Structure 1
Amino acid sequence: MNRSRHTASIASATALTLALSVIALAQPAHAGEEPGNTQGSDIEQSGGGDGNAIYAAARIRYSGSVAKNGSTGNVTSADVKWTPPPCWYAPYLGAKDFKKKMSKDLENQLSAPGMGGHAGAALNEVQRHYEDDYGWTDTPGYKDYNVDKDGQGMFWAAVENPNEPDPLLRGSCNDLPFWVDNGEAPPPQYEQAIRPEMLAALAYQHMELPDTKVTLAPEAETKVNLPTWAWLDKAVFDEVQATAAINVPGFNIQATTTARPVALKLQPGTEDAETYPASGDCVINNDGSIGEPYAKGKADRTPPCGLKYLRSSGNGTYKLQATITWDIAWTGTGGTGGDLPNGTFGNEQAVTVQEIQSVNR
């Protein structure tokens, strides 16, 4: 029986899970957030929360139009099946720093009361993996934590996405920390190792789009059966960019996600209404605007983008939903790039609709 099979037979799935959990303090458990950021400023998320410099390697820096304090942005993906990565592997510590932290944590756990049986055996396997060049499943072992290669690479470790609501998905990157030489790609079996396209998806997740408030004529208050014109000037909105980057010695990647407005959808807030065009989808014009501003002399024309209410709103208002569809693409390190699912974001606007009063003589 080879060493990998021997390891699997000694450490059952339960024991391995326990072993990974008890050494979790030796790796970045989640992408913690740093406070005090505002939209448009740099935001860092890291795998460590105690402020030590050794945690810097796991940080992702977000810049551009991003949500405050590392929270999720306001973009909704048009593809309900698309999700950003729930976790990833990223550069963590150099060999000497990793040895110092991991060996200390393993020693503390092995000496803890009641740490025996399969759990203790699994911890011993982890210790041998890093100290005695002992292979762990499909991963080659390391002699003395690779300290003879300190400065020539880093150990990579799992990082959880704090914006992923499913704890099982957040914890799905459960491999032991592994070594990557400077300038080299991670071993192919680590499909969740951080890549430009993953950074692009994370930038998408944190992107903050501008509010969508269309100009109406008549504004806010209209009449039953009176066409209401709707438009967005080019100056009101433009393309939006968000960037995610990791920059550490021997490893520097980034990706910029760009959102460009392509269409406006109007939803009147009642079934007693018509939209122009009938689909409610107003396309973007050649000059980058959407719709057409109302002006004198257009009262008898059908607006290219607008709506008509067929019933009074009474003592209340209708909630007009104006949603912009954004075409989203990305570019990244090494000439990488591609498309991401379209995004949407919209606002509600209160519209009062009154009956037209007439006088009979």
Structure 2
Amino acid sequence: MTQSSVPFLPFVRPEIDEATIAGVADVLRSGWITTGPQNQQFEAELSTYCGGRPVRTFNSGTATLEIGLRIAGVGPGDEVITTPASWVATSNVIIETGAMPVFVDIDPRTRNIDLNLLEQAITPRTKALMPVYLSGLPVDMDHLYRIARNHKLRVIEDAAQAFGSSWKGTRIGQLGDIVSFSFHANKNLTSIEGGALVLNSEDEALLAQKYRLQGITRTGFDGMDCDVLGGKYNLTDVAARVGLGQLPHIERFTAQRRKLAQAYFAGLADGAAVKLGLGLPLADFDNSNWHMFQITLPLEHLTLTRAAFMEALKAHGIGSGVHYPAIHLFSLYRARGFAEGMFPHAERFGASTVTLPLFTQMTEADVMRVCRAINEICEQHGK
């Protein structure tokens, strides 16, 4: 089967309904297109979704992480413990605050930070923990917060991929310390670009608002003060309206993603790829929102590289992605003393992972098509 004979299947495609598109048009016609009433409503509905906790929106999930760190008091000389298996924004924002990222290797089973290794990395300079919920799978929250309490550390949950996920029946965002969501176009809930912080108090929410817009506080018609160094991170009403249109569908989105993930497990089980050693994610259908479905290639048993494997998928009309190369091997981090061999599980994962198509408009037939292509490629190129 060639790419020209079938429709191309991208690895992600957002689902935005006609009511949302019409709603965006209404916002554009209203004349109020930057932060305004749509954003206020979006924050209120997100707060309800997160159990009534204060929520403030931002223009990206990167901004939410940086502001979350600042609200937690992280600054120059501090250390923040995180994982090298994430988008580089996770650690870049730590450096932006003047602090130093301290990496802990991943558990190869969950692909999340190995909590059993985390305490070994805590020093007197550790100020906060920043776990990442890769592909929407949360870490063991009980274990995480037990460590945080024992060492009196703040937690900024990088839940960028975990909107709609849960822990033991409780939504991510309803429990814990500071929680950061992303609403980028590839996320389970999108506002095109955007993010949100779930906070612990109205005081933290007010501080988030200050950081979001130049540190300004307004009183009355003409009163204005600036008492913290803020930036320009506000979410537009156009983006907020997209998010509002997405929110009522999140449970359906999550259910469909879980159904498709189950189809991947069924379609790959006992196939040529798995027999060669292809790695599958943890089959968690209680907590994960299945933001992504990531395989790891058995490159030692294949005659092609990862790039060639992805090119072969493309020839079948199938898109794919890489999420993520190990952060500590980027030049910026090598210059800070990180090197190969420090975090072998994250390095192996980063060098062999491939993200397969997974989005709500897909069908189980689409999944089977991907599985057949993977098995065919592995049969052709297996050693």
Fold-level similarity (TM above 0.5):
no
| Greater percentage in helix | 2
State the TM bucket, normalised to the shorter chain.
under 0.3
| Greater percentage in strand | 1
Structure 2 length-normalised TM: 0.26
Structure 1 length-normalised TM: 0.27
